[in-house]
C-alpha cells in the first residue's frame, strides 16, 4: 500500500529510511469515525473530557473528539518513561499535569499507542486519585504482544504486533509526527 499524495518524507533515500504504510490516511479517518460513534453510544448524554497523552496522541485525540457527536472538553497531560522497570510507579513520571479538574468527570483517555502498558497504568492511577467518575481508554494502536502490565483498553483502532510505528502523532526521535498516515520505518 502506498500513500496517494506524493510525499518526500516516505520516499527513502540513501540516508533516509523508507516508510512502509501500515494504515493510510483514509483507513485512519474511517476507523476513527467509527470509534467516535462507539464512544458516544457508550457514554450517552454526558459531557466527557478527552485527555490526550502528549505528544503521541495529539492527532488521534483531536480527530476522535471531532468524530464524537457529543459535547466534549479537552485536556492534556505529558509523562516521561525511563528505564525498563516492571512497575508503573518506578518508570513513569509526570511532566505536565492536567489543567482542569477531573473530579466527577467521565474521562476518555486518548493514547496513540499502548505498548508495555506502563504509561497507561500510571495515568489511570493518577486519574483515579484525582476522582474521575469513570475512565475509558481509547488508543489508535494496541501493541498487545508487548505488554508488561495488564491494562484495560476499551477502544482500539487496531491491534498490531511489535512494530516501531511513526506518523499521525508518533515519532522516531521527534520526526515523522506530522505524517498523515501510520507507517513502519524500513531497515535500509
DSSP 3-state of 10: helix
Confirm or reject binding of residue 111 to ligand PRP (CB under 6 A): yes
In the bound state with ligand PRP, the residue whose beta carbon lies nearer, of 40 and 180, is 180
Confirm or reject binding of residue 67 to ligand PRP (CB under 6 A): no
**Grid cell in block for residue 31:** 476507523
With cell 535500509, the residue in question is: 188
Q: Which of the residues are catalytic?
A: 115
DSSP 3-state of 166: strand
**Touching ligand PRP, residues 3-42 (CB under 6 A):** none
Piece of the chain touching ligand PRP by CB under 6 A; list 1-9, 21-29, 47-55, 98-106: 47-55
Confirm or reject binding of residue 158 to ligand PRP (CB under 6 A): no
Q: State the SS3 of 93-113.
A: EEEECCCCCCECCEEEEEEEE
Among 51, 63, 116, 185, binds ligand PRP (CB under 6 A): 116
Among 36, 48, 52, 56, binds ligand PRP (CB under 6 A): 56
Confirm or reject binding of residue 72 to ligand PRP (CB under 6 A): no
Confirm or reject binding of residue 52 to ligand PRP (CB under 6 A): no
Confirm or reject binding of residue 114 to ligand PRP (CB under 6 A): yes
Dump the DSSP string for 11-66. T--SSS--EEEEE-HHHHHHHHHHHHHHHHHHHTT---EEEEEETTTHHHHHHHHH
Contact 114, 153 (CB under 8 A): yes
**Residues within the interface to ligand PRP (CB under 6 A):** 53-56, 81, 111-120, 171
Amino acid at each position: 500500500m502506498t500513500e496517494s499524495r506524493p510525499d518526500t518524507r516516505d520516499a527513502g533515500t540513501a540516508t533516509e529510511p523508507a516508510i512502509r504504510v501500515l494504515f493510510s490516511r483514509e483507513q485512519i479517518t474511517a476507523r476513527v469515525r467509527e470509534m467516535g460513534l462507539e464512544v458516544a453510544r457508550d457514554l450517552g448524554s454526558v459531557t466527557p473530557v478527552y485527555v490526550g497523552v502528549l505528544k503521541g496522541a495529539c492527532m488521534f485525540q483531536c480527530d476522535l473528539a471531532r468524530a464524537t457527536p457529543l459535547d466534549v472538553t479537552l485536556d492534556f497531560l505529558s509523562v516521561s518513561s525511563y528505564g525498563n522497570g516492571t512497575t508503573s510507579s518506578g518508570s513513569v513520571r509526570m511532566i505536565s499535569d492536567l489543567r482542569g479538574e477531573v473530579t466527577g468527570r467521565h474521562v476518555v483517555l486518548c493514547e496513540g499507542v499502548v505498548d508495555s502498558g506502563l504509561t497507561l497504568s500510571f495515568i489511570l492511577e493518577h486519574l483515579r486519585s484525582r476522582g474521575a467518575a469513570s475512565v475509558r481508554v481509547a488508543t489508535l494502536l494496541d501493541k498487545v504482544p508487548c505488554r508488561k502490565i495488564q491494562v484495560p483498553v476499551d477502544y482500539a483502532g487496531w491491534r498490531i504486533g511489535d512494530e516501531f510505528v511513526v506518523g499521525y502523532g508518533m515519532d522516531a526521535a521527534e520526526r515523522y509526527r506530522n505524517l498523515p498516515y501510520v507507517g513502519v520505518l524500513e531497515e535500509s
